[in-house]
Amino acid sequence: MAATLKLMMEAANAAVPRISLAQARQMIAEGNALLVDVRDAPEVEKTGKVAGAVHVSRGMLEFRADPDSPYYDKNFAKDKPIIVYCASGGRSALGGKVLKDMGYDRVYNLGAFKDWVEAGGAVEKPIESGM
């Protein structure tokens, strides 16, 4: 059977646990979690990102997470938890599944950026153009 979005989402949601805002805050406070914003650049430029998060668009995730890639981001380490989020939780689930497939064991889906903001989570605002 051909893969469909529905099947891919079911597999991703089964593989990548969804965590609460409180759980994410605790992991962040412990100081060893990597937060990854997988939204596209225009989204991040418009709204900002979770304070301390690394922005890696969903399309570049595999390139940034693979140590053998020339685009590897040294923030990715297989010995620390990774918390992924996007606008609604879909791209973060799919991205988290890819990270799991790549050998990252502790990957968690925070879900929607707007939920973080509405709960009073710290946000890094985008830099105003022209400044």
Nearest residue to 84 via CA among 119, 47, 57: 57
Q: Any catalytic annotation for residue 86?
A: yes
- CB 72, CB 47: distance < 8 Å: no
Instruction: Identify the DSSP state of 18.
Output: B
- CB 73, CB 65: distance < 8 Å: yes
Burial level of 112, CB count in 10 A (0-12/13-18/19+)? middle
From the candidates 56, 61, 84, 86, which is the catalytic residue? 86
Q: Which two tokens stand for residue 52?
A: 């301390």
Which amino acid is present at 49? K
| Catalytic residue IDs | 86
